[in-house]
Amino acid sequence: MLSHTVRKLTPAFASLFGLSFVLNLFVFVSPLYTMQIYDRVLTSRNGTTLVMLSVIVLALFAAYAALEHFRSRALVQLGLCVDRALSEPAFEAAFHGALAAKSSPTLPIRDVETLRATLSGSLVPALMDAPWIPIYLGLCFILHPAIGAVATLGAVAILGVALLNERITKGSLVRASELGHGASERLAASLRNAEVIKALGMGQPIRGEWQRQRGQALAFHTAAADWGGTLLAATKLLRLALQCAVLGVGAYLAIQQNMAAGAIFAASLIMGRALAPIEGAVGQWKSFVSARSAFERLGVALKAPPDDAKPMTLPHPAGALRVEGLSVRAPNGNALLLHNVSFEVEPGEIAAVVGLTGSGKSSLARALVGVWQPVQGVVRLDGNDIRHFSDEQRGRILGYLPQDVELFAGSVRDNVTRFDPAATDEAAVAAATAASAHELIQSFPDGYATQIGEGGAILSGGQRQRIGLARALYGQPALVVLDEPNANLDMDGDAALGRALAGLREAGAIVVVITHRPQLLSQVDKIILMQKGQAVRVGLRDEILPVLLQPAGARILPPQRGQTGQVEPLQARWARR
């Protein structure tokens, strides 16, 4: 993707290099004007010649300013083109980085912003002017070999300072960038959990850890900035000294009658122009290092998969869910969280996954919806590997309610319809009705148009869960996976969930419910008992439920509200049902 973008924009960059050629031709206006003033106007004392020369020079300067303005705007537009071309794949890379639990998953997006800012800054014009340095130095030699020698030595000295700047500051700048991104990620995580931090009195240690990491980043940045500032000052000192040297050598040559007086100042102007790109590059070296690092990272992050790896559109599934020998590990993890799990769920059936904490229930949910990829085995829906569905189609055929419900800033309708721009009001109401959440939503101040804030901040835990259930049921999915769907529900919410499950069974959907609540088990057809990442028992509810109600298995099902948790009341309650 990155190489394709570079090839696509190469003609534009070539055109700007051509424009830089024209702009550098205008640089000769000042030296020529100076030479004409000293060698013609002052000797002839002709005011008309002075006026005409000045008018011509002003017109050329106006043309130069217009072309420079055009080049600047063109570079800004090039930066925007790069942003438009790379922002979407960078978002995809960041999204998959978050799924893979990578540190700083948003880095590709910031790298695109770095490239855009660099293209729009002053570094690129300096680099475009750099190829003219030998030409300017050659003109200095034409004026006189001594002038050319002084200018060349100065250019080599300033270039040496630039290379020294690269060697000294590169490591510190890269390390500062890495630590700065880590500190930003830590700050974002802290702000997302502000309530917990406040309630548990964790503010000071969390702030201290953030300040420590940020302080390390600032230390590396300061070290690089100090060296960069020192070397930039050395560059300016060299340039000023060289201008004086050129004037001094030119004056000596003029005294010896080996150079005209006007050529002295022309040589100073030409040499200053020759050294300007190098000095500009030294001044913008931090931007150069950042842009180069961003380009290298994007080259790795945006490697596009081959076209034949993209899933095709498959028929809408109408068959069973089959899990065959499924083994899964967490992204960036080594230990297997699921091992050789197998079971089947037919359309119109509801299967409950139960087990102690850490038995692999949520890992199974993530694998069923394609969030975590199998190490071995396969999840099949209507005979098709779930991975063979495209992301878009998988979103249409799956409904998923995670254990930690995350809603997004926007309206209730936006969240229910998954921010689908083609969603109709009827589809939003249908999903909410299927989740028995329509009346709840209508009780909000603005109904479906109510703005819920980032993460659903204005909603209670139960309300977020019920709206999350409506989102899971949007579009009548064929497979619905619910991870602890009643963890935050009250009695009304439990009743609404029961009605939603009954509606899904009637509609012929496949439902997998992960639960600790015994009341939900009365509505399921199958039970999958998980222990240490394995499905140790799979069978009909009436077969597995008595096993769970034995003293050794009762702890898997916590007691109802208001009960003491003894096994006998649970057995009695289920016997009555």
- Asked if the structure places residue 428 within a domain, the reply is no
- pLDDT digits 0-9 by tens, 398-417: 999 988 888 888 899 999 99
SS3 177: helix
How far is CA 515 from its chain centroid?
Answer: 34
- pLDDT given at position 208: 80
Residues 483 and 524 in one domain: yes
Residues 252 and 354 in one domain: no
Residues 294 and 385 in one domain: no
> Which DSSP helix (H) or strand (E) runs through 459?
none
For 32, half-sphere exposure in the C-beta direction (CA atoms, 13 angstrom radius) is: 11
Judging by beta carbons within 10 Å of its beta carbon (0-12, 13-18, 19+), is residue 496 exposed, middle or buried? buried
Residues 292 and 250 in one domain: yes
Residues 335 and 295 in one domain: no
Residues 557 and 492 in one domain: yes
Q: Which tops the pLDDT comparison, 146 or 44?
A: 146
Residues 253 and 353 in one domain: no
Q: Is residue 426 pLDDT above 90, yes or no? A: yes
Q: pLDDT over 90 for what percent of the chain?
A: 21
- pLDDT digits 0-9 by tens, 58-88: 998 899 889 888 888 888 888 888 888 888 8
Lowest mean pLDDT among 12-16, 123-127, 242-246, 279-283: 279-283
Q: Is residue 52 pLDDT above 70, yes or no? A: yes
What integer is the mean pLDDT of 421-428?
91
Domain end (from 260, 286, 301): 301
CA dist 520 and 516 (Å) reads 9
> Which DSSP helix (H) or strand (E) runs through 328?
strand 321-329
Q: Which tops the pLDDT comparison, 567 or 414?
A: 414
The CATH number given to whatever domain includes residue 279 is: 1.20.1560.10
What integer is the mean pLDDT of 473-483?
92
Q: Is beta strand 384-385 parallel, antiparallel or unpaired with respect to 376-381?
A: antiparallel
> Which DSSP helix (H) or strand (E) runs through 205?
helix 203-255
Residues 284 and 336 in one domain: no
Q: What is the mean pLDDT of the chain?
A: 81
Residues 176 and 265 in one domain: yes
Separation in Å, CA 375 to CA 268, 277, 278, 566? 69, 54, 53, 40
The CATH number given to whatever domain includes residue 472 is: 3.40.50.300
Ramachandran class of 455: left when φ > 0, alpha when ψ lies in -120 to 50, beta otherwise: left
Domains of the chain: total? 2
- Asked if the structure places residue 445 within a domain, the reply is no
SS3 553: coil
How far is CA 422 from its chain centroid?
Answer: 26
Domain end (from 301, 319, 346): 301
- pLDDT given at position 576: 41
- pLDDT given at position 513: 94
CA dist 543 and 561 (Å) reads 26
CA dist 510 and 555 (Å) reads 27
What pTM was computed for the model? 0.68
> Which DSSP helix (H) or strand (E) runs through 87?
helix 47-99
What integer is the mean pLDDT of 266-291?
76
Lowest mean pLDDT among 379-388, 403-412, 469-478: 403-412
- Asked if the structure places residue 442 within a domain, the reply is no
- Asked if the structure places residue 309 within a domain, the reply is no
- Asked if the structure places residue 186 within a domain, the reply is yes
- pLDDT given at position 416: 92
Expressed as residue numbers, the domain containing 120 is 2-301
Q: pLDDT over 70 for what percent of the chain?
A: 89
How far is CA 42 from its chain centroid?
Answer: 63
Of residues 203, 205, 204, 209, the one with CA closest to residue 186? 209
Q: Are 96 and 273 in contact (CB under 8 A)?
A: no
- pLDDT given at position 574: 38
Residue burial 437-458, b: 16+ Cβ < 10 Å; e: rest:
bbebbeebeeebebebeeebee
Q: For residue 212, which amino acid is it?
A: R
Q: Are 486 and 515 in contact (CB under 8 A)?
A: yes
Q: Are 104 and 182 in contact (CB under 8 A)?
A: yes
- pLDDT given at position 565: 37
SS3 313: coil
- Asked if the structure places residue 336 within a domain, the reply is yes
Centre a 10 Å sphere on the Cβ of residue 62 and count the other Cβ atoms it contains. Answer: 10
pLDDT band at 90 (very low <50, low <70, confident <90, very high): confident
- Asked if the structure places residue 321 within a domain, the reply is no
How far is CA 14 from its chain centroid?
Answer: 30
Residues 119 and 196 in one domain: yes
Residues 59 and 22 in one domain: yes
- Asked if the structure places residue 431 within a domain, the reply is no
Of residues 577, 469, 558, 551, the one with CA closest to residue 517? 558
Tell the residue number behind the tokens 């890379």, with chain if given: 93
- pLDDT digits 0-9 by tens, 280-336: 776 677 777 778 888 887 887 777 554 445 667 888 888 899 999 999 988 877 888
For 468, half-sphere exposure in the C-beta direction (CA atoms, 13 angstrom radius) is: 28
Residues 356 and 226 in one domain: no
Domain end (from 257, 283, 301): 301
